[in-house]
Structure 1
């Protein structure tokens, strides 16, 4: 499940899935979904998911599988967003309109804004490490199908000219230099 609303929780901790551990926790973190403030909560970076649990309401929380997050970055520019935060863009499926034409769906955006912005780099590093452990399986399939693994795209071997080992071959060049 790419995005889960209200993941199971045990107080301030998420209930973990098989082989999942908490790698990093950042309390007092606001979550904005498409610029709408969801509240303040605890952000857990686990080995499988990014999980935000509201501190204000035990019925509010989100768990996002890493492959569903297409972009993540530190956002410090206050002209782009009012708080320094970890910015995440989520993957969407293209929509098909009435005429059968594909339309791009709006990209959902998340902003995780810690009360202490000095912890953003630490959060980003932890998030990046855990995201790298969970690549998007669709990307791997695309790589395999476009890699030309059948060998049909391999051309002729290169022919390279290699000079003979002949120390005397350039002796007359020195004589020409002396004439100048």
Structure 2
């Protein structure tokens, strides 16, 4: 029994009393079901289960008696272990048969709402927002500073990140396409800046010493 599975005092999205609970198609007994804003709880005389939304990979309504004879029921596919801690988490099936079948849709909708309130966190994202890049000490190439990008002539300024104070008009006027692009292929082909390859040939720096 999960000792954390106590009756919730607040945040209940749905409650079903005296539902039948099955784990891997084996009956666990009768329990009250609580779908809360933070988790899912099964609480009965000999049952105390708390499921985090992050552990529930699938939830659905099953009506196929050939698949599960006690249908209709709510089906949960649950990873009992955190996938971040073990290579192959234990996957188990829960079937919950409400006392009244007309509660199935409400039960399912509450699960959907709970999942929405608890989205999975992407790896590497801890909720920390990235700091804007500070361009105050950035060395711009001659003629291609903030004024060039915005087309400003002294009246438009950029914030510390280079774009914090941009208006929509200024953003639309960004002259990104006018910035020359370095093309390494042109250097490899002896076409650097259009004329430098000719200058290198003229000054004899790359003459064959055997000639």
> For residue 87 of structure 1, what is the aligned residue in structure 2?
75
Alignment partner of 1:120: what SS?
Answer: helix
| Residues 67-78 of structure 1 mapped to structure 2, 5 A cutoff | 67-78=54-65
> For residue 156 of structure 2, what is the aligned residue in structure 1?
none
> For residue 112 of structure 1, what is the aligned residue in structure 2?
96
Where does the alignment leave 5 or more consecutive residues of structure 1 unmatched? 97-101, 145-156, 158-180
- The answer (yes or no) to whether the contact 1:68–1:136 under 8 Å persists in 2 is no
> For residue 4 of structure 2, what is the aligned residue in structure 1?
7
Q: Would you say 1:132 and 2:116 are equivalent positions?
A: yes
- The answer (yes or no) to whether the contact 1:94–1:105 under 8 Å persists in 2 is no
Report the TM-score, using the length of structure 2 for normalisation: 0.52
- The answer (yes or no) to whether the contact 2:15–2:33 under 8 Å persists in 1 is yes
Match of 1:30 among 20, 26, 31: 20
Question: How many corresponding residue pairs?
Answer: 124
> For residue 123 of structure 2, what is the aligned residue in structure 1?
141
Shift of 1:143: 8.9
The change in CA–CA distance for 1:117 and 1:15 in structure 2 (over 3 A counts) is: closer
| Residues 36-55 of structure 1 mapped to structure 2, 5 A cutoff | 36-54=26-44
**Which structure is higher in RCO with an 8 Å CA cutoff and minimum separation 6?**
1
Q: Following the alignment from structure 2 to structure 1, what is the Cα–Cα distance between the partners of residues 3 and 56?
A: 18
Shift of 1:64: 0.5
- The answer (yes or no) to whether the contact 2:31–2:47 under 8 Å persists in 1 is no
Report the TM-score, using the length of structure 1 for normalisation: 0.60
Where does the alignment leave 5 or more consecutive residues of structure 2 unmatched? 127-176, 178-211
Is the strand fraction higher in 1 or 2? 1
Q: Which protein shows a greater Rg?
A: 2
Q: Following the alignment from structure 1 to structure 2, what is the Cα–Cα distance between the partners of residues 94 and 135?
A: 16
Shift of 1:142: 7.2
Aligned CA RMSD, in angstroms, stands at 2.6
